[in-house]
Amino acid sequence: MEVKIYDRNSQDLLVEKAYPSWHVPTHQGVIDQTTSWHHLGEDTSYREIYFDGIHIGFGRALVPHIKRFDVHSDVETVEMHFALQGMKSAKADQFHKPVAFASNQHNILFAKGLQADMQWEADEFQSCEINFSPELFKKYLPEGNTLFDRFRNNIEKECSQLLAQENRLISHQMHQLLQNIWNCDAQGIFKRLYLEHKVIELLMLQLEQFVKGTKLALSIKKSDADKMHAVRDFITSHLDAESSLTDLAKMVGTNEYTLKKGFKELFGTSVFAFWSDLKLQRAKELLLDQDRTVYEVAFLTGYSSTRHFGTAFKRKFGVSPAKIRRPFQDY
């Protein structure tokens, strides 16, 4: 299996990757590697995490002007695509019309190889692509639903397609799961089990959205959407910060009303509910690491006291921070 990406204007070869097959030998466990490159003023990094039948890719790029690529791939794959930030489109012979994603959109697609003209608008790009071998994906695809049955039939006919013609919005729960996948620091078989569980949970959320028929209905302007993404990125990388809504609004050049309304519309939750959930999810991960005390975890996740931390933690998980560690201390 091989993927090549060329700069359409200069015809420079930007990426050339060869993968032996969908099968990763058991002794290799989970492969986790990051590649970075700089080309004509653009900085790009791509983190790959893969194991038997599943390939996870997190991409990030700073693109100062419109960028076009030629993409050549002989990989037959089902892809869960999450466009976290930035607008991009691709024209490919395998698809009847251009495939396009804007910020905070997702879809699922099947591709029998790919020969595509891809375009990125000038922006900062973040995306996650989770690719399945078609045979493995079909094991998780429910039966008895017209949309899913059509998708399965087209996979079997080797006919490239999108699961749905209209993308859906990435929900708050999806963002949390993507963050969990990125932050996973388990090793060996435990890392594989954790990642596989989170990927399937993420797939379930995608499929549920398609079944419910929740479609895009955004009124937010692109300039404001960019500011909401900037706030989300700040929160994600500063869990221990103490910032008010006013502070966050000033930081991105907007007002409190626009921030509250736009963030809820784009991510399906309030600014501080999003922040609190991320803090508590990260706290849970840290608590399961026996090298951290409850006090240390509370401090690292921005809580002013262990009492406030304990109350919030128990409200979310139904158990105190101390008790979530105790089962492991009996061994």
Last residue within a domain, chosen from 191, 212, 233: 212
Render pLDDT for 197-215 as a digit per residue (tens, 0 to 9).
999 999 999 999 998 865 5
Find the mean pLDDT for residues 105-126.
86
Question: Within this chain, do residues 226 and 112 fall inside the same structural domain, yes or no?
Answer: no
Nearest alpha carbon to residue 57 among 132, 2, 152: 132
Render pLDDT for 220-264 as a digit per residue (tens, 0 to 9).
787 888 888 889 888 888 888 888 889 999 999 999 889 988 888
Question: Within this chain, do residues 79 and 226 fall inside the same structural domain, yes or no?
Answer: no
| Cα(100)–Cα(87) distance, integer angstroms | 8
Structurally, the chain folds into a number of domains equal to: 2
Render pLDDT for 2-29 as a digit per residue (tens, 0 to 9).
888 887 878 888 778 777 666 665 556 7
Find the mean pLDDT for residues 79-84.
95
Question: Within this chain, do residues 266 and 226 fall inside the same structural domain, yes or no?
Answer: yes
Confirm whether 217 is domain-assigned: no
- Per the structure, the complete domain to which residue 278 belongs is given by 222-329
Task: Give the CATH number, domain containing residue 91.
Answer: 2.60.120.10
Question: Within this chain, do residues 190 and 269 fall inside the same structural domain, yes or no?
Answer: no
Question: Within this chain, do residues 188 and 256 fall inside the same structural domain, yes or no?
Answer: no
Backbone angles phi, psi at 145, to 5 degrees: -115, 130
Task: Give the CATH number, domain containing residue 288.
Answer: 1.10.10.60
103 sits in the region (left: phi over 0; alpha: psi -120 to 50; else beta) called: beta
